Structure 1
Amino acid sequence: MISYISRRIGAGLVLIACASFIVFALMLANSENVARNILGDEASLAQLAAKKVELGLDNPLLLQYGQWLFNAVQGNLGKSWFNAESVGYLLLNRIPVTLSIAVGTVVASTLVSLIMGVAAAVYRGWLDRVLQIVSVVGLVFPGFWLALVMIVKVSIEWGLVPATGYITFAQSPFGWMQSLLLPVFSLAIGAVAGLSQQVRSATIGVLEMDFVRTLRSRGLSETSVLFRHVLRNAAPPTLTVLSLNFIGLMSGAVMIEQVFALPGLGSIAVEATGVGDIPIVVGAVVISVVIVVIVNLVIDLINGWLNPKVRLS
């Protein structure tokens, strides 16, 4: 088990390093524009050259990245090139917003998918057909389109919840839930579409196995067979899809944060990308990748606990 965890952590660290380097290199391709954005259109060539030296943009790419990585390992993500504020401080206030959206969507979509997928697999018939329809509808309509529809209908016409903005849990737990309701719903529809189908397929596959018939022949109740044996064996492939869904949710949250004017990692990364504030962009990407790596590590550990064969793969 320790070897399994070590491999997963090592793979996560490699992913973080690769992602940060790629973003770093892509952003530095426009280093001339960065200096111009900071100083303005009236800046002379000499001033632009001096600013590039000040920011270290005249150094080779690998040296710049090495210096950033050395500081990042120590918890220092640098300072914004535009307002000199600490990148760590700027992003720290944004993490709870993005995490609230992503975790809320995962919890909501998982619960709904389990109920719908298991019900469709066990009862089949019209429930199964309804699931197929819901899955197609959920995949057809993109999250940002649903978000716009929700704003118009639920917020503007019906006035049930605020259209934009974010309230922290400390300020008001109820207000926090209201500010997350529409963003989570907009993302959860697409997540449920794929995950519920996976739950259905995995559950049907396990229900058709010989050991399930053996358990029933021994007199075990359907409830015991389903919840103690079938769902446990159907969980690993479902968890794999869930981990992939979480990656998609982190990227989808960028658009959703823009639509609902939420101060999350995605919104600040988009703003920083527009002006070329490399420390903020790279910091936001790294933190997002770290969150994804941690969530996938937890899912891998659960997978390994449910299925010992996974630990040997």
Structure 2
Amino acid sequence: MTQYIARRLISLIPVILIVSLICFSLIHITPGDAASAILGETATEEQLAKMRQSLGLDAPLYEQFLRWLGDVAVGDFGVSVFSGEPVIQIIWESFKTTFGLSLIAMLLSLVIAIPLAILAVWKRNSWMNWIFMSFSLLGVSIPAFWLALLLIIVFAVTLGWVPVAGYMPLSQGFWPWLSHLLLPAVVLSVQQAGLIARMLRDGMLEVMNQDYIRSARAKGAKEWIILLGHILPNAMIPTVTVIGVTIAELLGGAIIVESIFAIPGLGQLIAESISRRDFPVLQGGVLFIAVIYVLVNLLVDLAYAFFDPRIRYD
């Protein structure tokens, strides 16, 4: 297992390098730069040239990339060209907010998806299955921005149960923190719950046709014991992949949802850095998200060994 983890970690290095190169290239081939964004449209060419020199933007692109990559290797992501704060500090503060939002959304997704999938399999020949199929299809189809606006109108504006938008840190109290994250978490969880529920239901239906399930029924085991004790645990194995990808997507930051609800997370940070052309923050944020994706994929692979003892890594 240790050797497998070491090999996987080593294999992640070229992936992160390629992602870094692609991100750097795409950012620098777009029109404009940080100097023009800072000085504005009224800046003269002389002023822009001095600003580019101070920011190191006058050097060839390959030199800029190698310099940035070398700094990142020692943990220096640079500073924001607007606020002057260290990029790693800005990203970390945004990540903590997105992590809390993602955690609530993931818990809601599982709370919705698992019971719904179990009911759909339990009542697979009844109207419950139709409700499940409708929900899962609606969940993966409904636009996030439309659902967000609908929830704001109903629960924030009309009923006044939760704030319309904004964010309160956990240090200000649990309920203020949760109330500001509840609606965006519901928006994020609906689509993920639909995906997880559909995957889990299909897995459970496939496991039901296995010989050991027929043997359990032949021995007189109760159906609910078979469903929860044998079918569900085995069906969770392929579902782990979907859950892992879902976690990575949520931690990556939901730009639309965070922008609508004014949540200062990774998604909103990247959106603002694009509009401001704050290259150090944008490059650092994208690299941070890429690292999250590859690490979560590694954890998903390792989780297979936990859920399925038959799997061993040499």
**1:114 paired residue number:** 114
Q: Deviations over 1:77-130 (max 9, x none)?
A: 101112322112222211111111222212211221111112211221221111
**1:194 paired residue number:** 195
Structure 2 CA distance, aligned partners of 1:70 and 1:220? 62
Mapping of 1:66-85 within 5 angstroms? Answer: 66-85=66-85
Q: Deviations over 1:271-298 (max 9, x none)?
A: 1111211100011112222333333332
Q: Deviations over 1:222-281 (max 9, x none)?
A: 444333432222112211122233344345611101000111111121111112111000
Q: 3-state SS of the aligned residue for 1:93?
A: helix
Structure 1 CA distance, aligned partners of 2:186 and 2:298? 26
TM-score, reference length from structure 2: 0.91
Q: Which piece of structure 1 moves more, 28-37 or 60-69? A: 28-37
Q: Deviations over 1:182-205 (max 9, x none)?
A: 001111111111211111000010
Q: Which piece of structure 1 moves more, 59-68 or 162-171? A: 59-68
Mapping of 1:72-151 within 5 angstroms? Answer: 72-124=72-124, 125-151=126-152
Structure 2 CA distance, aligned partners of 1:259 and 1:32? 27
Mapping of 1:293-308 within 5 angstroms? Answer: 293-307=294-308
User: Is the 1:77–1:86 contact (alpha carbons within 8 Å) kept by the matching residues of 2?
Assistant: yes
**For the structure 1 residues 17 and 180, does the alpha-carbon distance in structure 2 shift closer, same or farther, using more than 3 Å as the test?**
same
**2:216 paired residue number:** 215
Which AA in structure 2 matches 1:178?
Answer: S
**For the structure 1 residues 6 and 192, does the alpha-carbon distance in structure 2 shift closer, same or farther, using more than 3 Å as the test?**
same
Q: Which piece of structure 1 moves more, 193-202 or 50-59? A: 50-59
Structure 2 CA distance, aligned partners of 1:8 and 1:311? 15
User: Is the 2:258–2:264 contact (alpha carbons within 8 Å) kept by the matching residues of 1?
Assistant: yes
Structure 2 CA distance, aligned partners of 1:26 and 1:111? 39
Regions of 4+ moved over 6 Å = none
Structure 2 gap ranges (5+)? none
Structure 2 CA distance, aligned partners of 1:8 and 1:224? 38
**1:263 paired residue number:** 264
Structure 2 CA distance, aligned partners of 1:18 and 1:285? 12
- Would you say how many aligned residue pairs link Structure 1 and Structure 2? 313
**1:179 paired residue number:** 180
Q: Which piece of structure 1 moves more, 38-47 or 173-182? A: 38-47
User: Is the 2:252–2:289 contact (alpha carbons within 8 Å) kept by the matching residues of 1?
Assistant: no
Identity of matched residues, %: 32
**For the structure 1 residues 3 and 111, does the alpha-carbon distance in structure 2 shift closer, same or farther, using more than 3 Å as the test?**
farther
TM superposition shift of 1:221: 4.3
TM-score, reference length from structure 1: 0.91
TM superposition shift of 1:309: 6.1
Structure 1 gap ranges (5+)? none
Structure 2 CA distance, aligned partners of 1:32 and 1:253? 26
